[in-house]
Amino acid sequence: MKRRVNAALRRATGLELRRASAASTPEELAAQRRRARRRLRPGDRLLEKPTFVLCSVRSGSTLLRVLLDSHSRIFAPQELHMRDISVSLRTDYAERSLREIVLEPTRLEYLLWDRMLHRELTESGKEMLVNKTPSDVFIVDRIRECWPDSRLIFLLRHPVSIARSRQEARPQDSAARNLKMVRRYCSAIEAARHTYDGLTVRYEDLTADPERETRRLCEFLGVEWEPQMLEYGQFDHGRMRSGLGDWSPAIKSGAVQAAKPLPTDDEVPDGLRELTAAWGYLSTETPTAAT
């Protein structure tokens, strides 16, 4: 019995890995350490089954957030910008120390992300977290590595509508830069859709029939639909300001506003045409995968 306990302790602390590595080739040692980095230990993750909204800027994600946050069991916080939150080690001593316990900066960073989101969820008093920050679409692989049990919601909007909305919000940007930024976000979303499973929601459908779409979202999340979700203005969702999400009068009105008319096919520039077709917004072309 004592021998089995000692073996379990060696596995938990990484001692077994180091002992086995003594006679390993450099290639085998590297492979073992990669496996150790991927393996979650007890206590590594406090957050269970978090959901992430993958979206572009100016795609209606704040509306989706406040609708979900109005549910009694769902907490959808302001944008938290995990992509810009990292861990750095200032000395070789720190690097050596963490290497000995198989806790390199990336793994430590994941611990920080998990504690931050779990802290906010606990403070809310709710049961499940849905996180939305547009830049998350650029770290979706890392999100899935950090939380293998995470779920994904893909929020789509007509790419030309996104471009127009972003141009209104950032008039200082040139039309070329604006187009480039929209393509960057939308291409990342499309790549994630081809890589991972998840629920796809269209902004236009959400504004046209919010009850139907929020029912779909609740079914995906495994909770009962609540009519109060459609009255998001009755609840406190935090400050509406730049850097935290949308801050326009429409979102501050507390009621779902109708989407603007869709752009016509002729209004779609060449730089967005393939993505627009891939998302099913072009009436004259068959959807294709965007590159």
- pLDDT 10s digits, 232-273: 999 988 777 777 677 677 777 788 988 989 999 999 999 999
In a domain, 258, yes or no: yes
Q: In this predicted structure, which of 38-42, 202-206, 210-214, 275-279 has the lowest mean pLDDT?
A: 38-42
- Residues 217, 264, single domain; the answer is yes
In a domain, 3, yes or no: yes
Q: What share of the chain is helix, strand, coil (3-state, %, to 5)?
A: 55, 5, 40
Per-residue confidence (pLDDT) for residue 20, from 0 to 100: 41
Kind of pairing between the strands at 74-75 and 199-202: unpaired
In a domain, 120, yes or no: yes
Full-model pTM: 0.82
In a domain, 285, yes or no: no
Q: How many domains does the chain have?
A: 2
- Assess contact for 286 and 277: CB atoms under 8 A: yes
- Residues 27, 73, single domain; the answer is no
Amino acid at 183: R
Burial (Cβ within 10 Å: 0-12, 13-18, ≥19) of residue 157: buried
CATH code of the domain in which 111 resides: 3.40.50.300
Which domain range does residue 119 map to? 43-278
Average per-residue pLDDT for the chain? 86
More confident residue, 32 or 290: 32
- Residues 3, 104, single domain; the answer is no
- Assess contact for 274 and 290: CB atoms under 8 A: yes
**Alpha-carbon distance 35 to 39, whole Å?**
6
Q: In this predicted structure, which of 92-101, 182-191, 228-237 has the lowest mean pLDDT?
A: 92-101
- Residues 27, 112, single domain; the answer is no
- Residues 16, 77, single domain; the answer is no
- Residues 88, 60, single domain; the answer is yes
Amino acid at 236: D
Cβ-based neighbour number of residue 288 at 10 Å: 11
In a domain, 188, yes or no: yes
pLDDT confidence of 189, banded at 50, 70, 90?
A: very high
In a domain, 224, yes or no: yes
pLDDT confidence of 214, banded at 50, 70, 90?
A: very high
- Residues 95, 200, single domain; the answer is yes
- Residues 167, 260, single domain; the answer is yes
**Alpha-carbon distance 127 to 107, whole Å?**
25
Give Cα 229 distance to the centre of its chain: 21
Closest to 290 measured CA to CA, from 196, 155, 183: 183
- Residues 137, 47, single domain; the answer is yes
Is the dihedral angle over the CA atoms 186, 187, 188, 193 positive or is it negative? positive
In a domain, 286, yes or no: no
- Residues 9, 95, single domain; the answer is no
**Alpha-carbon distance 217 to 210, whole Å?**
10
Residues 6 or more apart in contact with residue 269 via CB below 8 angstroms: 160, 179
In a domain, 283, yes or no: no
**Mean pLDDT value of segment 146-163:** 97
Per-residue confidence (pLDDT) for residue 248, from 0 to 100: 72
- Residues 264, 137, single domain; the answer is yes
**Alpha-carbon distance 139 to 280, whole Å?**
25
- Residues 108, 18, single domain; the answer is no
